[in-house]
Structure 1
Amino acid sequence: MRCRPCPHGDSTKNAYIEAWKRSFDYTGRSSRPDYWLFELVNIIVIVVLAVIAGKVEAIQPLVTLYTVAQIVPHLPVTVRRLRDAGKEWPWIFIGLVPVIGGIWLIVLLVMPTVAG
């Protein structure tokens, strides 16, 4: 029996790498899959690093460094995703409103692509 390759494997890796390559690019758009695959890999990396840091204390600075560094690509990919959903970049600040702001931002980020 032959195993099939994961249909999202390459696109997951490409979305993550592309977000890092475009770390300072606030122009253009990012599709829903590009945004959410970047977020998924980002969370997995942080969790894996945290688990390792729990066992090997010397790794803790690496976890902190990655957590801070991932902000650099996270902001532009979020701005591009908002633009793709038909919203302007200032909507990113809705996430600063306690409780409801984060939920509202997630709703905006899952909206379908707006043509144009």
Structure 2
Amino acid sequence: MDAVKLAFRNYANFKGRAGRSEYWWFYLFQFLAVFVPGLLGEALFVLGFFQQVPFTHLSRSHGGPPVIHFTAAMVVGSILFVIAWLADATLVLPYLAVTWRRLHDAGYPGPMFFLSLIPYAGGIILIVLNAMPSTAEGMQYEYK
């Protein structure tokens, strides 16, 4: 919890360094805060959708548009999915800042974060760079 609190305390701080534990604990926190409600929300939505029996409700009735009756599972699933989306949007800046500082600690400049925008390979490159141990070269990014 201390690593997550520290990341939130420095949510807009792009100077200095962040150790591996601070980065990876915050990464786990972000994953759980977004993935779990999102997955549960989508699962409930799909479950609610397929619980609609009979499927004649999905057919055109009286020449009008298809009729879909929302079940409680679909509503709860939608709410959980919105919560996951809001959590993800809220955690963007803290994640960017802690990743930027983690790159400093590993001896790389913060803008190397943008390597993650390279399709397919970028995310893997960023994970490898963030897994590197702290270096003495990272001292140049200390607070002055």
Task: Please indicate the TM-score interval, normalised by the length of the shorter structure.
Answer: 0.7 to 0.9
1:20 has 2:41 as partner: no
Quote how far apart the aligned CAs of 1:51 are: 4.0
TM-score normalised by the chain length of structure 2: 0.67
Structure 1 Cα separation of the partners of residues 118 and 81 of structure 2: 30
Quote how far apart the aligned CAs of 1:104 are: 1.3
Query: % of aligned pairs identical?
Result: 35
Greater shift, 39-48 or 65-74, is seen at: 39-48
Bigger radius of gyration, 1 or 2? 2
Aligned residue identity for 1:24 = A
Alignment counterpart, residue 102 of structure 1, candidates 86, 108, 123: 123
Alignment of 1:1-116 (within 5 A): 13-54=1-42, 55=44, 56=76, 57-115=78-136, 116=139
Structure 2 Cα separation of the partners of residues 58 and 101 of structure 1: 32
Aligned residue identity for 2:126 = L
Q: Give unpaired runs (5+ residues) of structure 2.
A: 45-75, 140-144
Structure 1 Cα separation of the partners of residues 84 and 120 of structure 2: 26
Quote how far apart the aligned CAs of 1:48 are: 2.4
Q: Give unpaired runs (5+ residues) of structure 1.
A: 1-12
Aligned residue identity for 2:11 = S
What secondary structure does 1:25 align onto? coil
Structure 2 Cα separation of the partners of residues 60 and 107 of structure 1: 30
Deviations 1:68-90 (A, max 9, x none): 11101000000000000000011
Q: Which has the higher contact order (CA 8 A, sep 6+)?
A: 2
Quote how far apart the aligned CAs of 1:61 are: 2.0
TM-score normalised by the chain length of structure 1: 0.81
Q: Is the 8 A contact 2:35 2:84 kept in 1?
A: no
